[in-house]
Amino acid sequence: MQKEFDTGLVWFRRDLRANDNTALSVALQRCVRVHCAFIFDRAILDNLPRTDRRVEFIRESLVELDATLRAITGKAQAGLIVQHGFSTELIPKLAMSLGAQAVFTATDYEPQAIARDATVRHALAAQSAEFFTLKDHVIFERRELLTQTGKPYGVFTPYMRAWLARLGETPPLRNATEPFASAIAERPIAYVSAVPKLETLGFSSTNLKALAIQPGADGATKLLEDFWDRMDDYDQTRNFPSVKGPSYLGVHLRFGTVSIRQLVGLALQRKLAGSAGATVWLAELVWRDFYFQVLSNFPHVAQNAFKPEYDQIIWEQGSRAQTLFAAWCQGATGYPLVDAAMAQLNQTGYMHNRLRMVAGSFLVKHLGLDWRWGEKYFAEKLNDFDLSANNGGWQWVSSSGCDAQPYFRIFNPITQSEKFDAQGKFIKRYVPQLAGLSAKSVHAPWLSKQLELTAAGIELGRDYPMPIVDHAEARSLTLQRYGVVRKKPQTSTAVEQ
């Protein structure tokens, strides 16, 4: 069968795998020869800290991807073309240099990415080359799922019902690449070079290896194999940060070293077999799609509250706000579970999902700080940072987003600690100065007897801070602060969770 294009270029971005890769699969079937490229985009990298685990994760994943492309073709020079610069300039130049009539890439739904792609599309059109963006890292995108009135969903449960109904009982189709791999072309001599080292890019090595985070598709496969044996218990284990409950695949989903279609297919398989754990995990994957469609259909959420009235809230400002924020960032709030969560984030780039809710709620509803401050901090620290999910999560805890918790629901960090870290194992791991306290006292050290504090070698204010806010007072202030969005008197008083 005659192919549509003589030469194509696949632009890898957040799909760093050869297997089940939509852009690669489509390009191989539509082009006689295909070149593969990745751009270390300065528009993104220039704003990052110089020791960023994500850059190291990407770099190591590219090394593996480069080797995989050569392996599946049997061609020694059929790997990745990797460049460092601005993609809006380099992709059109690369396409022209290679004689590509078409560029294929995975769709990115973030506002800045959409603007970037519009610039690239325009530049390619000027040189008579086509630009194809293809759905890859979600199951359903944009307006594929709509309410009966033809509007995008703003509530999760009916969205999930529609999502599951559309999916049915058949796993999502995956995109074959290896049967067509012979179309991957060897790189011109000018582009034959190894993936740049971190130092060449202006970055330094991190503690990625010490954390036992293995990048690339091989790393994702090992995690998935491990989780497969634990998936049935996910519904029972997922809320306890000291228990090995989550899949830990977040960073792999973020950078596409694993296929969402593969994960949904596996979860669906176990769900249909009656697994409660797989059913809950599949719902978590649906949440991921939900937040992507929210960002696509309501792009204002990237800057403002989904519910406009919540932008009327007056947050803490000035030096007091800065002091409170610094304490939260440093894990020095005096609330052990919050501080342990922040320590985990700062040390590892990971935070357990339950703790994201607790720490986020504390910032907004105890400290009275703008949720956007926390969103920005997480964006800098999280290995698996994804704008849609991060924004959705922060708007959820602030009650300003889609299907968010009501403003009068306020997480009590002490009861959350007692419920989800009853023995204090997680707290004692990340706040080791509290290791000598009993399981009862570790959740609120300031309520402990002086004798126990002394025996544990703890002087509050020296070894561990006193609480920077009082829970009851903070709750009261939050209800006052959120009064501007109250449409009618609430029958409920503040509800603690």
pLDDT tens per residue, range 395-433: 999 999 988 778 888 999 999 999 999 999 999 999 999
pLDDT band of residue 198 (cuts 50, 70, 90) is: very high
Phi, psi of 262, deg, nearest 5: -65, -45
Q: Looking at residue 406, what is its pLDDT?
A: 85
- How distant, in Å, are the alpha carbons of 12, 17, 123, 132, 283 from that of 91? 11, 19, 9, 13, 37
* DSSP assignment letter at 424: -
Mean local confidence (pLDDT), 71-81: 95
Q: Which residues pair with 132 in a beta bridge?
A: 104
User: Residue 247: is its pLDDT beyond 60?
Assistant: yes
Catalytic residue, chosen from 11, 281, 328, 371, is 371
- Is 371 catalytic? The answer is yes
> Residue range 31-59: average pLDDT?
97
Percentage of the chain beyond pLDDT 70 is 98
Catalytic residue (one of 11, 287, 328, 373):
287
- The tokens describing 181, both together, are 């791999």
Structure tokens at 222: 């090992």
Strand locations in 341-383, DSSP E? none
Separation of alpha carbons 1 and 183, rounded Å: 14
- Supply the pLDDT for residue 53: 98
What average pLDDT score do residues 132-146 get? 98
User: Hey, what CATH topology would domain 137-174+217-297 get?
Assistant: 1.25.40
Query: 346, 353, 418, 446: which is the annotated catalytic residue?
Result: 353
Confirm if 124 and 101 have CB atoms less than 8 A apart: no
Catalytic residue of the set 328, 394, 396, 412: 394
> pLDDT at residue 493 above 70?
no
Q: Residue ranges of the domains in the chain?
A: 1-136, 137-174+217-297, 308-489
Instruction: Kindly name the residue from 297, 315, 418, 446 that is annotated as catalytic.
Output: 315
d(CA 495, CA 488): 17
- In the chain, what percentage of residues exceed pLDDT 90? 95
Q: What average pLDDT does range 68-81 have in this prediction?
A: 96
Please compute the mean of the pLDDT values over residues 49-64 and round it to a whole number. Answer: 98
Please, what is the average pLDDT of the chain? 95
More confidently predicted of 59 and 404: 59
Q: Is there a catalytic annotation at residue 353?
A: yes
What confidence category does residue 282 fall into, taking pLDDT thresholds of 50, 70 and 90?
very high
CB 157 within 8 A of CB 128: no
Q: Say what the pLDDT of residue 405 is.
A: 76
Residue keyed to tokens 């610094």? 326
How far is it, in rounded angstroms, from Cα 98 to Cα 78? 14
Q: Is the pLDDT of residue 171 over 80?
A: yes
Q: So what's the pLDDT on residue 261?
A: 98
- For range 292-309, the mean pLDDT: 96
- Whether the pLDDT of residue 490 is over 50: the answer is no
Look up 446 and say whether it is catalytic: no
Q: How far apart are CA 23 and CA 146, in angstroms?
A: 26
Confidence of residue 496 (pLDDT cuts 50, 70, 90): very low
396 is catalytic: no
Q: Cα separation of 405 and 399, whole Å?
A: 5
Query: pLDDT at position 487, please?
Result: 58
SS3 content of the chain, % helix, strand, coil (to 5): 50, 10, 40
Q: Which residue has the tokens 């669906």?
A: 268
Residue-level pLDDT at 150: 97
pLDDT tens digits for range 1-34: 799 999 999 999 999 999 999 999 999 999 999 9
Q: Is the pLDDT of residue 491 over 90?
A: no
Does residue 462 surpass a pLDDT of 80? yes
Residues 6+ apart with CB under 8 A from 345: 351, 359, 378, 381, 382
- Ramachandran angles phi, psi of 131, nearest 5°: -130, 120
Q: How far apart are CA 23 and CA 175, in angstroms?
A: 9
| The pLDDT value given to residue 407 | 86
Q: How many CA atoms lie within 13 A of 112 on its CB side?
A: 9
141, 186, 284, 316: the active-site residue = 284
**pLDDT bucket at 488, cuts 50 / 70 / 90:** very low
Q: What is the CATH number of domain 308-489?
A: 1.10.579.10
Is the pLDDT at 95 greater than 70? The verdict is yes
Query: What is residue 497's predicted lDDT score, i.e. its pLDDT?
Result: 44
- Concerning whether 141 is annotated as a catalytic residue, the answer is no
Q: Which of 25, 34, 26 is nearest to 6 (CA)?
A: 34
The fold adopted by the segment(s) 1-136 is Rossmann fold (3.40.50)
* Total residue length of the chain: 497
User: CB of 202 within 8 A of CB of 193?
Assistant: no
